[in-house]
């Protein structure tokens, strides 16, 4: 099998269609490839937030999971931040230095302010409210679909987080003493598989990918006689990967891998991730080529970025 062809960026044939005030469905040829949910049905302790679920391959295989028994606050693909100035936008327990994972009354929520759909583009403005309902930061989010070669397609997630109210400190369990648990940012949680391989530029294996600054990682999942591959690639500055493939399958670039990330008032933190999905098992070379194709296709497909609003709209 040869690697995917070079990208030929063009508008995706998939389009976002409204589903409620702030939800949407990505439809191509009457097939729903992805659903974007507003998170209004989530309990407060899960840190309510919009999320993608399910995201499917062209053949209909789901590549996301929500509320799994091992981590009931994992929600498909979402912006999940363990601690921002003491507030959890992750859900569940917060890791407290010298205490461990502790259930605190510190859960915030991401509140959509506006949602605009234009073909393969979903653009949303949000405000992050702390546990007291006070605005903490604001975000402009864009989720864009792109068609790739060889039956693959990709979904790009781009977030600009504005410290609109004050200087902000982004933390993780690792910054509070739990070594290797530097998770937080755009997290993609996959469903269960009979077996899987984890690939990255470092080679094969979870241990090589976790904590690495590989520009991409891939999960090759086998379910019965079928195989599907999810390639996750970073856009912009490459951050260390938080990746799990033993207890569960999931990964995302880590905002605060081993030290606190500070964003000054008025400054913006950009986070980006693209997930490319194909209905077959890819090898290391093919996965790298698909990652390059997806990253190269996104700029041509994306809408021009607008300023993140400092007031509600």
The per-residue pLDDT for range 232-245, each reduced to its tens digit, is: 999 989 999 999 99
Report whether 173 contacts 95 (CB < 8 A).
yes
pTM, to two decimals: 0.93
Report whether 245 contacts 196 (CB < 8 A).
yes
pLDDT at residue number 313? 40
pLDDT at residue number 73? 93
Q: Report the DSSP beta bridge partners of residue 31.
A: 28
Report whether 17 contacts 34 (CB < 8 A).
no
Name the residue with tokens 């790009």: 156
Can you tell me the mean pLDDT for 165-178? 97
| CB under 8 A, 24+ apart: contacts of 33-42 | 33/58, 33/145, 33/153, 34/145, 34/155, 36/122, 36/143, 38/112, 39/75, 39/78, 39/109, 39/110, 42/75, 42/91
pLDDT at residue number 302? 63
The pairing of strands 268-278 and 153-162 is antiparallel
pLDDT at residue number 255? 98
pLDDT at residue number 108? 98
Q: Is the per-residue pLDDT at 119 higher than 90?
A: yes
pLDDT at residue number 301? 65
- Alpha-carbon 40 to chain mean position: 18
pLDDT at residue number 208? 98
CA distance 17 to 70: 32
- For residue 12, what pLDDT band results from cuts at 50, 70 and 90? confident
pLDDT at residue number 4? 46
- For residue 14, what pLDDT band results from cuts at 50, 70 and 90? very high
Report the alpha-carbon angle 206-72-280, nearest 5.
45
Q: Is the per-residue pLDDT at 7 higher than 50?
A: no
Beta carbons within 10 angstroms of residue 19's beta carbon: 14
Which of 3-7, 70-74, 197-201 bottoms out in mean pLDDT, i.e. has the lowest? 3-7
- For residue 2, what pLDDT band results from cuts at 50, 70 and 90? very low
Q: Is the per-residue pLDDT at 128 higher than 60?
A: yes
Report whether 127 contacts 22 (CB < 8 A).
no
Q: Which stretch of DSSP H or E encloses residue 300? A: helix 284-301
Enter the tokens of residue 192: 């269960």
CA distance 103 to 92: 7
212-241 as b/e, with b when 16 or more CB fall inside 10 Å?
A: bebbbbbbbbeeeeebbbbbbbbbeeebbb
């Amino acid at each position: 099998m040869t690697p995917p062809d070079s990208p030929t960026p063009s508008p995706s044939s998939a389009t976002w269609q409204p589903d409620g005030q702030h939800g949407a469905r990505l439809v191509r040829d009457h097939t729903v490839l992805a659903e974007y949910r507003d998170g209004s049905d989530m309990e407060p302790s899960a840190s309510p937030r919009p999320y993608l679920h399910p995201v499917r391959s062209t053949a209909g295989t789901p590549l996301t999971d929500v509320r799994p028994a091992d981590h009931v606050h994992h929600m498909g693909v979402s912006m999940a931040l363990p601690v921002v100035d003491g507030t959890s936008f992750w859900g569940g327990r917060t890791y407290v230095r010298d205490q461990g994972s502790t259930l605190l009354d510190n859960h915030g929520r991401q509140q959509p302010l506006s949602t605009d759909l234009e073909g393969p583009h979903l653009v949303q403005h949000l405000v992050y409210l702390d546990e007291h309902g006070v605005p903490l930061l604001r975000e402009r989010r864009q989720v864009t679909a792109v068609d790739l070669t060889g039956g693959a397609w990709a979904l790009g997630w781009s977030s600009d987080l504005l410290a609109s109210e004050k200087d902000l400190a982004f933390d993780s369990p690792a910054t509070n003493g739990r070594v290797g648990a530097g998770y937080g940012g755009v997290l993609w949680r996959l469903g269960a598989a009979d077996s899987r391989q984890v690939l990255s530029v470092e080679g094969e294996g979870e241990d090589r990918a976790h904590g690495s600054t590989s520009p991409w990682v891939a999960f090759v999942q086998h379910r019965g006689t079928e195989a599907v591959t999810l390639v996750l690639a970073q856009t912009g500055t490459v951050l260390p990967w938080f990746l799990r493939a033993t207890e569960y399958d999931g990964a995302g670039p880590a905002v605060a891998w081993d030290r606190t990330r500070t964003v000054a008032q008025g400054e913006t933190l950009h986070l980006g991730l693209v997930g490319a999905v194909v209905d077959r098992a890819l090898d290391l070379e093919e996965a790298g080529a698909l990652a390059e194709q997806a990253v190269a296709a996104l700029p041509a497909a994306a809408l021009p970025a607008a300023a993140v609003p400092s007031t509600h709209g």
